[in-house]
């Protein structure tokens, strides 16, 4: 397993490329902007793009999808149904793609990526359809868990109480994980359990 990343757009969203270097396949997580840089990251990996996976539907995590689908027209794009919109009306939700590309995932779903398995954890709070993605020792935490912080919950479908339940769920995962958040620097779950004030509050409830 190899993980590459680029920080894209004016909000510097972390876009990750999860690669199985033996099977030479990869999954792209949260392509928020700058499709040319993202495509270069995919090309440089030498892996074939199998999936686009979204931690949630906000535009700063999804904006480059239309441009990428022109390059990769057959790649499925997964999102939780609660963060997908059937219209372009709600700018905080992800506008539905054609049936050819649109897929939905929910808690406990797994996706095979070569010899790797990606597991979906529903972690609402930042948005109703926020998920985290687990693969071996990597936890792609979207805008749920940040290093020493968590995502904001003041959007219309955000929920601070749900956020605490989601942070507690992550904190109670057994073992150590590399935390790969939607913004800013990566971390370790053990560090967050000890030092993140929001996670500490959540784990004390």
Is the Cβ of residue 18 or residue 131 nearer to Zn ion in the bound state? Answer: 131
Is the Cβ of residue 57 or residue 114 nearer to Zn ion in the bound state? Answer: 57
- Within 121-160, which residues bind Zn ion (CB under 5 A)? 143
Shortest Å distance, C-beta 56 to Zn ion = 5
Is the Cβ of residue 143 or residue 157 nearer to Zn ion in the bound state? Answer: 143
Is the Cβ of residue 104 or residue 155 nearer to Zn ion in the bound state? Answer: 155
Shortest Å distance, C-beta 143 to Zn ion = 4
CA 203, 189, 104, 127 torsion-angle sign: positive
Give the separation between CA 13 and CA 142, rounded to whole angstroms: 9
Q: Tell me, residue by residue from 38 to 77, as one string, x for binding to Zn ion by CB under 5 A and - for no binding.
A: --------------------x-------------------
At residue 45, the 3 state secondary structure works out as: helix
Give the separation between CA 201 and CA 150, rounded to whole angstroms: 12
In the structure encoding, which two tokens stand for residue 134, read together? 């687990």
Surface-to-core class of residue 12, CB atoms within 10 Å of its CB (0-12 exposed, 13-18 middle, 19+ buried): middle
Residues contributing to the site for Zn ion (CB under 5 A): 58, 143
């Amino acid at each position: 397993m190899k993980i590459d990343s680029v920080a894209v757009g004016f909000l510097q969203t972390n876009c990750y490329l999860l690669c199985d270097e033996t099977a030479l396949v990869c999954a792209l997580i949260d392509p928020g902007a700058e499709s040319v840089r993202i495509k270069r990251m995919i090309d440089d990996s030498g892996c074939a793009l199998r999936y686009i996976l979204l931690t949630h539907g906000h535009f700063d995590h999804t904006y480059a999808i239309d441009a990428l689908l022109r390059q990769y027209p057959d790649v499925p794009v997964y999102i939780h149904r609660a963060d997908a919109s059937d219209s372009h009306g709600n700018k905080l939700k992800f506008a539905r793609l054609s049936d050819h590309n649109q897929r939905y995932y929910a808690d406990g779903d797994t996706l095979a990526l070569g010899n790797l398995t990606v597991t979906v954890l529903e972690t609402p709070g930042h948005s109703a359809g926020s998920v985290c993605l687990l693969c071996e020792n990597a936890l792609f935490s979207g805008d749920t868990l940040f290093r020493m912080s968590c995502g904001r919950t003041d959007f219309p479908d955000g929920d601070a109480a749900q956020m605490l339940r989601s942070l507690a769920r992550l904190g109670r995962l057994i073992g150590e994980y590399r935390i790969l958040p939607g913004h800013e620097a990566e971390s370790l779950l053990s560090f967050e359990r000890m030092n993140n004030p929001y996670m500490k509050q959540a784990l004390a409830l």
